[in-house]
Structure 1
Amino acid sequence: MRARSALAATAAAVTVFASATSALADTITNRIDTTVDAVAETMPILVGGTGSTVLAVVPTKGDNKNGCNLTGKTTLVVDVASADTSIATVTPSRVTFDSCGDTPTLTVKALKVGSSAITLKEYTNDTGRTFEYAPATFDVNVVAPGGANTPPSVGITGPSDGASYAKGAVPAATCVVADAEDGASSFPAALSAITGPYASDGIGTQTASCSYTDHGTPGLTASGSVTYSIVDNSAPVITSDLTPVHPDGLNGWYRSDVKLTWNVADTESPGSVLKDGCVDQTITSDQAETAYSCSATSAGGSAGPVSVSIKRDATAPTVAFESASGTAGLAGWYVSPVTATFAVTDATSGPAEPLVSASSPAGVEGTNVSIASPEASDVAGNTTPPGAASQSFKIDLNAPTLTYAGATGTAGNNGWFTSAVTTAYTVNDSVSGPAQPTVTASSGAAEGSGVVIPSPAASDVAGNVTPAGVDSRSFKIDLTPPTVAFDSSLGGSYYFGKVPAQPNCVASDSVSGVASCQITGYSSAVGFHTVTATATDVAGNTSTTSMDYTVLAWTMSGFFQPVDMGTVVNTVKAGSTVPLKFRMYSGPTEITDTAAVKSFRVASMPCGVTAPTDDVEITSTGGTVLRFDTTGDQFIQNWQTPKTTGCYKATMTALDGSTISALFKLK
């Protein structure tokens, strides 16, 4: 093989590819003028000549980061050096990368014949990631100018250095040789094995290499290569299967066991797939909505997270009495239909309606009216049948009834009452019972021929009320006695014979009317008298009024001589006539009319020996006759005594009842 000859290169390239031990680091590569040297792994340069290559960063999606490690806010600084600066130098000695788009140029200057290695070393790195530098090392061969043999040049067509190609779409790599002595030629490039963590799936880094040694003496060799990436451009596909496929409840809820199976596929790089989550599930217990997720990465990228939410509720809700509404009466009774409200609870999906209600049957009443809970459901569609809960109520829908039991009061005449009337009613209620067994109403102070007494209000134990007036009764009531008076006044003292006439009774009554008006107690006889006027109305009420007066007796004087008065017994011959002389006065007025003498009577009596006696010295002739002697200004009653002996009492009685008496013994 010929030795290498010096070559003036107008352009050179450096290609850096990831090694098996650093596959996860981003790689520093170059963009080379492929007409000189695509990789610049060996750069032939004539003494005094220069060569150049362009550096670049190739992201490898490794180092636990997709994309470039340089974000635009981070910097990578690399030192560049020649192993033997007496043979070749490289400038600049330090390059900076701020982004993956930076392409700094390295210039190599040949000083003398020989070989020197150009290497890259990290100076500073604030990305927190790693980079691969070793592949950037290349050799510089410096040859003497002026020889008969000129170095060949090798180029590569097809793939571009640093480019990425989808799996199955990499262009064919061909080596193209230009040599002044040998002419042009081409041949297929040698392909390296694919390297990288997913090489088994045909994903990773591959190098197409070309090397040509010309036929001169010594033979000069030129080589080149391009490194490119074979990538998976499709991310994993995540799907899931649910059994049952669709929820068997409402609103997305399952009411049976649910099985979740994850499926993750990547046809391009199945070996690169990494799953996060993606755990198959079998849900057999009630649960609130729970999200299960699956994420996956592959050489083609990442997918997900994909979430599947499953909610399961196979338990029917519970029902419990909550409250009741209706018209509340007394003593725990309702006086209207009752609506019972039941609370619906469900620990998982929740009740479809938090409250359900049911009403008592129409018209049903009693001490134990049961209301059953209606059907209740939860959001998932589970149902609790009717009657799961019930509540009993005391319901009385109807007011009590009244039965007239009669009236009480002071009965007067002609169907009238002379006192307030009280009506009584029996209260009947077949459900809760009457609050009072009987109720009464009174006419109070009302009176008249048609006093209406409304029936009283009545209530039952539940509080239903029968209003007043449903069974009213009418009565004739006269509470006021009639007025009564005399049409003339009578009072004081009057002498007998001068008493005024009996007064008349005057009465009135504005309600039932006057039935009678009577005067009692009137007398012209001597003594104390009370005259009373009594009025009675049609109803039987009575009123009275009275006047007191006194009838004075006349004043009696006599018998005068020859008759002795007192206990003296006058002795007179039987059959003789004795003059009985006396006077009468009506007050200061002397009475002279013989008609004022009511009677003259003589009665026999036992003769006693102890009484004093006195003979009558003067007797008169003639029979028993009464006269007023104007001469003597006195009455003279000539008494013709009986012709039989014995004792007698002679008495004169005046019209006013006054008397004078004398005792006689006939011999």
Structure 2
Amino acid sequence: MSGKLTPRRFAAVVGALVVLLAVPLGPVAFSDHASVSVGAVPHSTELVAMVDSGTEPLTEITYDVFAADGDGSAPLATNKAEHIFGTVPFHLPDGRYKIRATAPGFLEGWYTSTAGAGEFSISELITYQDSRTFATADVIVVDSLTPANSSWTHAGWTVLHSAASSVSGAVASSSGGEAGSLLSGIGVELHDAAAAPETSLVGEALRTDANGYYTFEGVAPGTYKVRFVKESPEGGITERWWPETPHRAEAEVITLTGGNHFNLAYAVFPPSVPVDAARVLTLSGQPALGATLTAAPDFVEAGPFGEPCLQRYTWFLGTDLVEDAYGPTFVVPLDAGGKSVSARLDIAGIGCTYTALASNSIGPVDPGLTAVGNDVVAAPVDNTGQAPATLEFGQVTTAGNTTVTRLGSEAAPPAGSFSSLTDPPLYYDIETSAVFDAALGVEVCITFDTAGMTQAQAAGQHLYHYVDGAWEDITVSSSTGRVCGVTHSFSPFAVGQPHWPFTGFLQPVDTGAVLNAMTAGASVPLKFGVGGNRGLDILAGGAPSSSAIACPGGTAPDDIEQTVAAGTSLLSYNAASDSYTFVWKTEKAWAGSCRQLELRLNDGTVHTALFHFRK
């Protein structure tokens, strides 16, 4: 970290700099020419903090004057200074100019104006940033007819850096020019703007020095953000990101190319920021899920240089701060049902009066309210107190209210080509009084409990809509515990497992009322198809199973044409025949009895066959 000046030495340096570099601001006697004096400061990434005490002074500083309206390729005049405190005058006619400074072993620098206001204050630094090119350099105006138009009468200098780039700045308790407002011991962190927050810290954190300054030296090319951390005596922290925001995402990006320097990433930690009861922050919008609310202040003051003061918004659901919500607009989240929304605006910035405005509240948010607009979201609470369904309307032309009612199995339409794997089954009646564009439709997403489901079942449920007396599969996406579909009308909906196209049982087993005869204790291949290879996890738990039945009278047994050696029951798939085989091992104790085999699959279907066992 650079900047090792004591406050007394700091004041002396500032005074010397102003005396050496500034032309007196009183009345000036002009002819058609005037003298312009400029100076240079080596390595001063902290600007008025000057330079480490061990740094050697510069020699052979070359100044070139260019026409501001030209291309910066050919200087109009050139002069040299023997050392940093040498004045370099140029006798210039009326006009607009830019001045470059160069020195051996340093990058070129261009004249930059500065506010020059207030020792030991952050205002001394705020208008200064290095000018690294002709295009970004400030213009010096020489006007002998109207001296007030001549900008060269203001204090100014250029900073010369070596090739290594840096980020530097200051931390203060006030944005004004109060003496002693710069703060020491404040934590400062450099973060990679392109990295994830948990891995973005670059190198070690610094602390501001006795003068309130800090410098990250030798920073590699890249994009960065700067975080400031002020610790309280009680152990808590207050954080700021440059410029003046508590939100990392709202922080501005500093770009370093390997040869440039960023001279003022600052923070201000005022003792307190009162809410101005005389000021108005108006919050407008619908208390609906997904609605965009807008906060508008009655007035925002300008800073000392005419630019608006910084406006930093925070948003609240009830009394809870919403993390990473900033800016004058706020989209109501889906979990905001029953809560009110409010905002706070903090006014910040150099030379601005630090104050806060509190908004009115909107809400409580009605999760069933379906407002006018595009991509309107509703997530009503159903009759069980849950909010299982989220609806997104493509376009709503007339506002209304959307409701979701959980239906019992007795109130649901007849079963379709799917099975309900939840207990109880998931049937919903969804209705809305809002007028919406049926052609654009509504995306309906339903979440559900996956208890008792396999992983494939949990991620493979479908959404069905009862239309014109039949269930229609409207699924567009399915993930674990959530399924979505698009509908163009409202009526009952259901979540279920689609049935696989079962074929079988295939030979040697017969289905229906046929009684398959075989020797007890033998094993029989159960062959069947389910419309493709669905993996080996297709059997429900405990499948297959069998139960004793009365042998049907008058039914002649049909002998099993094929049995296999007794062994361990197992399932396999044959791609050539697109069929599964489960080797079912029977028990010798079943001799002289009849049994019904049940093969229960993970699609919720059950397939049966009848067997008669001989000794």
Larger radius of gyration: 1
Instruction: Name the TM-score, length of structure 1 as normaliser.
Output: 0.21
> Which structure's relative contact order is higher, taking Cα pairs within 8 Å and 6+ residues apart?
2
Instruction: Name the TM-score, length of structure 2 as normaliser.
Output: 0.22
Counting strand residues as a fraction of each chain, which structure ranks higher?
1
